[in-house]
Amino acid sequence: KTKTNLHLFLSKLYFSFYADFGPLNLAMLYKYCCKLNKKLKSFTMSRKKLVHFTSYDQKKRANAAFLVAAYSVIYLKRSPDEAYRTLISGNNTPYLPFRYKPTNMHQLAALQHCFLDFETFSSEEYEHYERVENGDMNWIIPGKILAFSSPHARNRVENGYPLHAPEAYFEFFSQNNVTDVVRLNKKLYESRRFEDAGFEHHDFFFMDGSTPSDLIVRRFLHVCESAEGAVAVHCKAGLGRTGTLIACYLMKHFRFTAAEAIAWIRICRPGSIIGPQQNFLEEKQHSLWVQGDVHRSKQKLAQQRFSRQLQQQYHLPGSDPVPLGKQEAMPHLVTSMNDLSIKTTLCKSYSLDEVSHLSFWHRFLSSVEV
């Protein structure tokens, strides 16, 4: 075929942390998908085959492969396994795994958990807040868990990098329903500055580059499960310790594998979770899955009891249980269904861990005549 039958294009470069080279972050993935959608809808390219090409550099091949496969998962509704098998079919050269083992397959599986909604995602907002001068913040679970770097005692510039006092975060946190702040590094500011502004503040210190104790993991999970709103988590850089504990939450409540949790967090916040912490997560995966199963079982029983109470109090017919309700035994886990929807692609039914009990309570009471 002649060259006029083809349209060739490249993808953007990745700006690495330490020795890593990917995966590409959410904004890059979003822009790639928008770019590809535009090309596919273009009248001038309707008779052409699109070719995403890259060099023989193994790192660039891995990133390009992720972009193509991710598009097929998000927009073509392919399963991660289908997308990955397409990548490796007829290819004798294996794709280089990303640093600390996560592969393209793990990244694709992480995407399928539906935390991403490109209908409402703003790459401008993502790129704005990920910059150090604007707070160095990234949502890992939209509306529920935010990762950021440590605030400092006062606003200043150190070695060319701006550092922010706690007050610099108040407006963003209030606008995004952040109610709790978790600090994992040594004290660089007074916690009362957040507390005086109405935020709950929690200290779970462990050494930089190390792994948390079982007690710290339990306490962190309890904070996330009982918080009224979103939880903002930081260590010094908001990468290693922060990512490790958030990964524990993903494994317990959404049954991510350790590799999927690492992949998703690194897509949201590149550079997160280092070698020993990865091994720790792999070791904790099974126990966190078991804890999550027990947690959901207890929630289901509590829901059924609460449903029966509502039926008795409001004389409702004894049919199917009321989907969800507000109760002391059921902590708030996410802000709303909108945070976890993916309108154009993957759809699934969500567990009790993934829906706001408070929002249901308001909707339910407004529909009941008393």
> If you write DSSP's letter for every residue of 105-158 in order, what string do you get?
HHHHHHHTT----TTT--HHHHHHHHSGGGT-EEEEETTTEEEEPPP-SS-EEE
Strand partners, 57: none
**CA neighbor of 55 nearest in space, from 93, 17, 25:** 93
Question: Going by C-beta distance under 8 Å and a sequence separation of 6 or more, which residues neighbour residue 176?
Answer: 143, 146, 230
> What sign results for the dihedral spanned by CA atoms 114, 120, 124, 128?
negative
Cβ contact 343:75 at 8 Å: no
Three-state DSSP state, 326? coil
Q: Is residue 347 annotated as part of the catalytic site, yes or no? A: no
Cβ contact 48:69 at 8 Å: no
Q: Which candidate in 33, 224, 235, 248 is catalytic?
A: 235
Three-state DSSP state, 363? helix
Alpha-carbon gap, residue 103 to 87, rounded angstroms:
12
Q: Would you state the structure tokens that stand for residue 257, as one six-digit string?
A: 């594998």
Could you give the residue numbers annotated as active site?
235
